[in-house]
Structure formats: structure tokens, C-alpha cells
Amino acid sequence: MNPYAIHTAMILDKRREAEAIDTYRLEFADPALRRTYRFSAGQFNMLYVFGVGEVPISIVSDPDEPEHLDHTIRVAGRVTNAIARLQVGDSLGIRGPFGRGWPLEAIRGKDIVVVTGGLGCAPVVGAIEYIFRRRGAYGAVKILHGVKTPHDLLYRERFDAWRHHSDTEVLLASDQADKSWQYHVGVVTELFHQVRIDPARTAVLMCGPEIMMRLGAPILIERGVPASAIYVSLERHMDCGIGLCGHCQMGPYFLCKDGPVMSYDRVARFLGQTGV
């Protein structure tokens, strides 16, 4: 697909997930593109609001159902505000998919530990659905997710459904709790102590605030998980999405092309630093 070409897509559905966060189901206007468009879990699209600008947004939907193209978007600034004003039936532009997603074929046979925080669960949803469609191909699955408050918990029904898969644990944590919260109170990394991890056969998929990954990955490494088996999905400002403009540079990498999913051993020294 021409990476510069912007394809028109219509909003089929818009669903409120939390304060200022909505999930949009999109459908390409071009029927041929609807049939041929494919993505892998963890990739992103550039979403373009005509006359306003473009933003990178992860694809949330199941890669085995490419006809459903879902994006969960939090209002952050100019472009995401313009997206939030769009309604069902309105159109926007899409370029993509871009980037490298989760290495789901390479980690077949492994136990999977998913560690996410806040909206960081969005890029991992497709990976979890992929794994559960091929349940026998993976070992134990442990999904650990943290939020700031119970109101920030997205995809509540998905977390409930994932709990029912065999050999699967779903653990939730919230920094602050209210009466409705039945799970851990504290940060997501505290959940590491509640799960058994066999480090030699574990792959970790991590996504959330960079500080969570920067503090969380070393705890898992201390428990024996190799840094090369910890995969993090990273965010930087992006413009072209295809490795040309340099906006997303991190050390020797362009995150739009080499990432956004990278193994921790390759990026650890750049996390928490600006201007590298």
C-alpha cells in the first residue's frame, strides 16, 4: 500500500470508554480496501482529520477480524479534540498500518505475562485476542493491568471475558479505590508478587506510561526474565510514520519503523531520557 495515500473511512460506531476516551469503529469507504486491509497486533494507523492534522493511534481490534477497525482515543490536544467532535457517519482519513507489532509468532510456546497501565492496554488487546484464538499454542497467560482510579478501567467486559480462559489469570490494580473496587489497591508492579513466573519460559508484553515500564522491567529481570524477552510498546511524537522525518527517533531507532514494539534490552538505556 502507498504509505503516503490517505484513505477515507467512515465512523460506524463511537463508544464512550471513560472520561474523554472513546472507541471508534471505522470502515474504509473503498470496498476493495475493506477486503484487503490487514494489520498485526501492536501496529498503529495515522488518523487524519481533514484540515486539522494527523496523529498516530494504535489499532485495538483483533487482527483475525481485519474488517473491524477499532481505535480507542483519549483527547490530548488539537487533533484528538477534533476527532472527539466527530460523530457516527462522519469521515476521517487513514494511513497505515505502520510499525512493528508484538512478536506473537516468535513467542509461541511461552508463558505470556501482559503488563499494562491506563490506556496502554489498547495496543495489547489485539495481541491477547490473537493468543486466545490459538490458546493451545501458548503457555499460561497472566494479564496485569493498572489504572489510576476505578473510573479509568477501559474494556471492563473484555477483562471479565479473558478471566474465563483456561490457565489464565487477570489481576487488576488501582492507585485509588472506591467501594466498587474489589481488586488490588496500589500500582500495577505490586501485582508481580501475586503471580508465579517461570522466567525461563516467559515472554512479557508491556505497555503504559514510560515510568511504569522503566520501573517494572528491572523487577522482572531481577526475577530472572531475560531483558530480551520483555517487549515494550513505546510512544514518541510522530509525523511521517515511515522512518523519514526523524521525529520519533530514540537513539539509533525510529520508533515508527523499528517499533513501536521493541525488546527491552535494545531500548533500556534510552528510556526516561529526552533528546536521544
Residue ranges binding ligand FAD (CB under 6 A): 44, 55-58, 72-74, 76-80, 119, 122, 235-238, 260
CA distance 186 to 172: 10
CA distance 189 to 214: 11
Q: Is residue 34 a contact point for ligand FES (CB under 6 A)?
A: no
Cβ of residue 44: shortest distance to ligand FAD, in angstroms?
4
The listed partner (ligand FES, ligand FAD, none) that binds 247, CB under 5 to 8 Å by sort, is ligand FES
Question: Which residue number, 57 or 170, has a Cβ lying nearer to ligand FES?
Answer: 57
| Of the candidates 210, 138, 117, 173, the residue with the CA atom closest to the CA atom of residue 127 | 138
Within 10 A of 269 (CB to CB), how many other CB atoms are there? 10
The listed partner (ligand FES, ligand FAD, none) that binds 254, CB under 5 to 8 Å by sort, is ligand FES
Question: Which residue number, 123 or 241, has a Cβ lying nearer to ligand FES?
Answer: 241
The type of residue at 77 is: G
- Do the Cβ atoms of 94 and 34 come closer than 8 Å? no
Cβ of residue 238: shortest distance to ligand FES, in angstroms?
4
Q: Is residue 203 a contact point for ligand FES (CB under 6 A)?
A: no
| Residue entry with cell 522491567 | 217
The listed partner (ligand FES, ligand FAD, none) that binds 122, CB under 5 to 8 Å by sort, is ligand FAD
Question: Which residue number, 3 or 150, has a Cβ lying nearer to ligand FES?
Answer: 3
Question: Which residue number, 74 or 165, has a Cβ lying nearer to ligand FAD?
Answer: 74
The C-alpha cell at 274 is 529526552
| Residue entry with cell 482529520 | 49
CA distance 53 to 249: 20
For residues 245 to 264, the per-residue mask of contacts with ligand FES, x marking binding by CB under 6 A and - elsewhere, is xxxx-----x-x--------
| Residue entry with cell 523519514 | 244
- Residues near 201 by Cβ (< 8 Å), separated by ≥ 6? 109, 110, 111, 139
Cβ of residue 38: shortest distance to ligand FAD, in angstroms?
18
C-alpha to C-alpha distances, 221 to 128, 194, 227, 244, 272, nearest whole angstrom: 22, 16, 6, 34, 18
The listed partner (ligand FAD, ligand FES, none) that binds 246, CB under 5 to 8 Å by sort, is ligand FES
| Residue entry with cell 470496498 | 31
Question: Which residue number, 123 or 216, has a Cβ lying nearer to ligand FES?
Answer: 123
In the bound state, the residue with its beta carbon closest to ligand FAD is 77
Applying CB under 6 A, which residues contact ligand FES? 238-241, 243-248, 254, 256
